[in-house]
Structure 1
Amino acid sequence: MNYAGPAEETPARSGLELTPFRGLRYDPDRVGSLAAVTSPPYDVIVRPDGLIELESADPHNIVRLILPQDVTPEARNRQAAETLGRWLSEGVLTTDSEPGLYVYEQRDGDHLQRGVIGALRLSEPSEGVVLPHEDVMPHIVADRADLMRATSANLEPLLLTYRGNGSRVGTAAVIERTAELPPLLATVTEDGIGHRLWAVTDPAELAEIQTDLGHHQALIADGHHRWATYLRLRAEHPSPSPWDFGLVLLVDTARYPLRVRAIHRLLHQLPVPDALAALGDSFRVRRLDAPLPEALKALAVAAGDGNAFLLAGDGAFHLLDRPDPALLARTIPADRPEAWRTLDATVLHATLLDHIWAIPEDSPAHIAYIHDTTATVEKAERDGGTAVLMHPVREEVVRDLARQGVKMPRKSTSFGPKPASGLVLRA
């Protein structure tokens, strides 16, 4: 989907400033396979099952850096720093010989995505260069900041998008020329997605990319917490410093549209019967004795007419729709645009979580945010909690709210495919 809007010509001084860096990359001769050492982004991994699987895939899997395991946060971060230092000293991770930007390709069946990885100069939302569209949870920002301080590294790139003009000039031209050359690395991960990476080091091509991107703004598609972490760490270090920049992947959605999916909620301490009983007559509730794909189709139909959610965890699916308008008027803040007030995520957090179920949205003991639909349902059924399945928000809404400076509720969207973690790091 094209979701970052029409091409935006901004003065070069206020556009994107992407700089080359010397990437840290795995030595393929020192690991079992490149696929075995990569990972989804830290917030996509379903814990503990997915974490254990990644740790077992290879002793050098990147998950040991992005999600280290120990008894305390301090011990976890110390472990990540020690692991990174050991891998560097052993040559498991090596530093590229010269600075460059990296063309990155992902191919998932018929879906092709290409972009450029580099160190982006950080900017505040008020500057209009990089636009966030979601709120963040302070405890996650603090956790990521502690990890980045300990390792002195950007361990995985954010996903940002911008809108080119659709022609093969500037950055697009460099990407297409580069993709015809032999890659630095190529691998297929367990999810079937093919990954290829190239380094761009020629001064003329670097200048072509930098000049082109200097006329564009970007939207954060994935990585709001890491972006907030970048800004926090920049504020802690006197400028100029390496902390003035952060690792990102920039994708031109005029050429390579992203997919948009929902992020679901798992309510650990709320059994489905209790969740349904608390609703009273505030929503219409229909039980669906159907497999997951059919239940999701019913959710999509209901979402076309208004707010709708799918509850699971007791062996069936329960479709919630047609919320009481008076209840919405009482529970949803009236000082935001209508597009924000009518979001499913807004109704979920303001009306269901806050008002009806009294669940704190920033407490990991009460709520988890999971991208995989099947995993959310399975964990709810196994643990006795409630899965709240969401329908994806339309990309036009994301774009329009971001341009108005209005942030959506946290974890409202999932754009992808997301860059694999472990292909290139920045020290």
Structure 2
Amino acid sequence: MDDSRVVTPPYLAGPLRLFPFTGLMLSPSRIGDPSSARAFARPYRDVSARLVSWEDKGFVRHDDSPAVYLHEYTSGGITIRGLVGALDISHRARRAAERVVFPHEGVHPGQADELADRMDEMKMHPAPILLVHRGPQQLRTLLAGVMATPTYQDYTDRAGQRHRIWAIRDAETLAGLDASLAGSRAMIADGHHRYAAYLRLQHDHPGGPADHGLAMLVDQDDTPLYMGAIHRVLAGTTLQELEAAAASIGARWRPCTATEAIAALGPTTLVATDGESWGILDIEVPRRRASIEIVHERLVPALASPPHRVTYHHSLDDALTHVSPGTGVALLLPALDFDLVLRVVAAGRLLPEKATSFQPKPSVGVLIRSLSDE
């Protein structure tokens, strides 16, 4: 199998539904602790037994009954709130109008298959995929009522994230959730390969626990996730080669200082540096398209020689540690606008791999779904 190829994962058909599940939770003293990752390490078939052992030691607990959870977490001064439940993945969309969950980037089939095999061995979804949508007022009103009740859990984990959780179990409120979400559409913010793995497992084992996948649904208009850029380092490329490629596609190159470059970064303005020299790259971006699309569709293919490799970096400082004159070029990109990403996916397109970073993500272990419990 060619693991380098990228494919579009299947689309789900509506309505968008989150079902109750029996939450499995690490103790607060274990959440955010890097050593806790060993609970989900190889051999994956032993993970369930490993967590049972942890449960005996008080490190893990099962909820008493199924629920859809409202999970609020605060990290670095940003508060995010979302519904966590078992997403119905049992129906595939046959027409564009039926689609309710939209990926914004493709997946590598080999990586998705590996994750599916791992989940199948573990009989577990260790963490929810992250979905974002624009929630209706009806849903916000309902959740305001939930938040007026006592929390199910309230703690700060080892990584400094504060978590507040409400367990939604009563039939009337759950029915209200179904009604509020019936017309919603969501985009995958994080977890594309796990989403694809869910779908493969559902295809292989329909009619059981695999008909659902653990997901967290965040209202971007209520508690918005921060959208950061992911920069590129083009190994083996020089600034002169990049400037020539830019000219060949009608873009304008301007030498500048580092300060001028960072200040100029914008939707149609990119920055390039080899760590010593800097340049501003003004590119033409058609309406309803993103600059990152032009980079991968036109600019990089226009290079006289392709990069030895392309690496991805979430910060300027990290990108700069990987370049020096003659070894490569850091191509700094602007953060994408949420509405622009929505327009891209609504048009049936995907963004290039690692186009944007949604932050902050919740610590692992707050809510886990055990397929053995179902």
Q: How far 1:372 moved relative to its partner?
A: 4.1
Q: How far 1:173 moved relative to its partner?
A: 2.2
Q: How far 1:24 moved relative to its partner?
A: 1.4
1: CA distance between counterparts of 2:167 and 2:15? 23
Counterpart in the other structure of 2:282: 322
Counterpart in the other structure of 2:294: 347
Counterpart in the other structure of 1:94: 61
Q: How large is the Cα RMSD of the aligned pairs?
A: 3.0
Query: Using a 3 Å threshold, how does the CA distance of structure 1 residues 226 and 386 change in structure 2: closer, same or farther?
Result: farther
Query: Using a 3 Å threshold, how does the CA distance of structure 1 residues 372 and 162 change in structure 2: closer, same or farther?
Result: same
Query: Using a 3 Å threshold, how does the CA distance of structure 1 residues 391 and 280 change in structure 2: closer, same or farther?
Result: closer
| Most deviating of 209-218 and 111-120 | 209-218
Give the match's secondary structure for 2:244: coil
Counterpart in the other structure of 2:250: none
Amino acid at match of 2:245: S
Counterpart in the other structure of 1:358: 306
1:400 aligns with 2:343: yes
Amino acid at match of 1:402: V
Give the match's secondary structure for 2:188: strand
Query: Using a 3 Å threshold, how does the CA distance of structure 1 residues 385 and 62 change in structure 2: closer, same or farther?
Result: farther
Q: How far 1:414 moved relative to its partner?
A: 1.8
Contact 2:256 2:280 (C-alpha < 8 Å) held by counterparts = no
Contact 1:62 1:422 (C-alpha < 8 Å) held by counterparts = no
Query: Which of 356, 361, 365 matches 1:422?
Result: 365
Counterpart in the other structure of 1:296: 262
Query: Using a 3 Å threshold, how does the CA distance of structure 1 residues 425 and 351 change in structure 2: closer, same or farther?
Result: same
Counterpart in the other structure of 1:157: 128
Query: Using a 3 Å threshold, how does the CA distance of structure 1 residues 124 and 368 change in structure 2: closer, same or farther?
Result: farther
Amino acid at match of 1:25: M
Contact 2:32 2:157 (C-alpha < 8 Å) held by counterparts = no
Query: Which of 238, 241, 250 matches 1:275?
Result: 238
| Most deviating of 201-210 and 78-87 | 78-87
2: CA distance between counterparts of 1:19 and 1:205? 12
Counterpart in the other structure of 1:106: 73
1: CA distance between counterparts of 2:263 and 2:158? 29
Q: Which runs of 5+ in 2 are unaligned?
A: 1-12, 247-252
TM-score where L is the length of structure 2: 0.79
Amino acid at match of 1:150: E
Q: How far 1:287 moved relative to its partner?
A: 5.0
Amino acid at match of 1:358: P
Equivalent pairs, count: 342
Which digits, 9 at most, give the CA deviation of each residue in 1:103-148, with x for residues without a partner? 1112246543211100100154543111222222334323322322
Q: How far 1:101 moved relative to its partner?
A: 1.0
Contact 1:309 1:391 (C-alpha < 8 Å) held by counterparts = no
Query: Which of 233, 251, 261 matches 2:228?
Result: 261
Q: How far 1:187 moved relative to its partner?
A: 1.2
Query: Using a 3 Å threshold, how does the CA distance of structure 1 residues 36 and 170 change in structure 2: closer, same or farther?
Result: closer
1: CA distance between counterparts of 2:139 and 2:212? 22
Q: Which has the higher strand share?
A: 2
1:4-403 equivalent positions in 2, closer than 5 A: 14-28=14-28, 33-37=29-33, 54=34, 59=35, 61-62=36-37, 65=40, 68=41, 78-91=42-55, 92-108=59-75, 111-122=78-89, 123-124=91-92, 126=96, 127-166=98-137, 169-170=138-139, 172-178=141-147, 180-188=149-157, 190=159, 193-237=161-205, 239-267=206-234, 270-271=235-236, 274-283=237-246, 284=253, 286-290=255-259, 295-299=261-265, 303-304=266-267, 306-312=268-274, 314=275, 316=276, 318-323=278-283, 339-340=288-289, 343-356=290-303, 357-359=305-307, 366-380=309-323, 386-403=329-346
TM-score where L is the length of structure 1: 0.70
Q: How far 1:171 moved relative to its partner?
A: 5.5
2: CA distance between counterparts of 1:265 and 1:189? 32
Q: How far 1:87 moved relative to its partner?
A: 2.5
Which digits, 9 at most, give the CA deviation of each residue in 1:76-110, with x for residues without a partner? xx434434531323313332221111111122465
Which digits, 9 at most, give the CA deviation of each residue in 1:371-406, with x for residues without a partner? 34433333557xx65443221122221111222222
Query: Using a 3 Å threshold, how does the CA distance of structure 1 residues 412 and 224 change in structure 2: closer, same or farther?
Result: same
Query: Using a 3 Å threshold, how does the CA distance of structure 1 residues 207 and 164 change in structure 2: closer, same or farther?
Result: same
1: CA distance between counterparts of 2:20 and 2:32? 27
Percent identity, aligned pairs only? 30
Amino acid at match of 1:23: G
Give the match's secondary structure for 1:206: helix
2: CA distance between counterparts of 1:319 and 1:235? 49
Contact 1:264 1:373 (C-alpha < 8 Å) held by counterparts = yes
Query: Using a 3 Å threshold, how does the CA distance of structure 1 residues 288 and 344 change in structure 2: closer, same or farther?
Result: same
